[in-house]
Amino acid sequence: MVSSAVRESRRTELLNILNQAKVKVSSGPSKYKRPTSTAEKRKAKVKVSTTKKKSVKKQCSTLLKKKISVNMKEMKKGRWKSRAQAVAVSYSQTLKAKPACSRHMKRRKSRTTKH
C-alpha cells in the first residue's frame, strides 16, 4: 500500500502540472481582437468576390457545349454512330448531371408541317 504522504505528494505534483498547463494555454494576449465599432466591423468583414454568379441557363448551356465537344471527339474515335447520337447523349448526360437544366432544355416542336 502507498502511504498517505506519498499519495499527497503525487496529488500536489499533478495539481502543479495542471496549473502550469493552464498558464501556458492562457498566457499572452489573444491574436484576434474583437471589433467594437461599426467601422471596425465593416473592415473585419471578408470581401466577397465581385464576379457575378452565372445564371442557371448560362451554366446549363456551357455544360452542354462541353459535353457535346467531348462526345464529338468520342464519335470520331468510334464510340457513337452519328453526330445526332452524340448530341442526344450529351443532352441526357447534361440532364443527369444537373437536373435543374431540364426547364431550360425543353424539346422544340417539330418544324415540319403535315399536309
- Residue 113 domain-assigned? no
Distance CA 27, CA 100 (A): 53
Positive or negative: CA dihedral 7, 12, 17, 19: positive
For residue 94, give its domain range: 56-103
- pTM comes to 0.48
- Residue 47 domain-assigned? no
- Residue 92 domain-assigned? yes
Number of domains in the chain: 1
- Residue 36 domain-assigned? no
Q: What letter would DSSP give residue 50?
A: -
Could you tell me the mean pLDDT of each successive run of 10 residues in the chain, 115 residues long?
A: 79 78 53 64 59 81 94 93 94 91 76 61
| pLDDT at residue 62, as a whole number | 92
Quote the cell numbers at residue 49.
Answer: 468576390
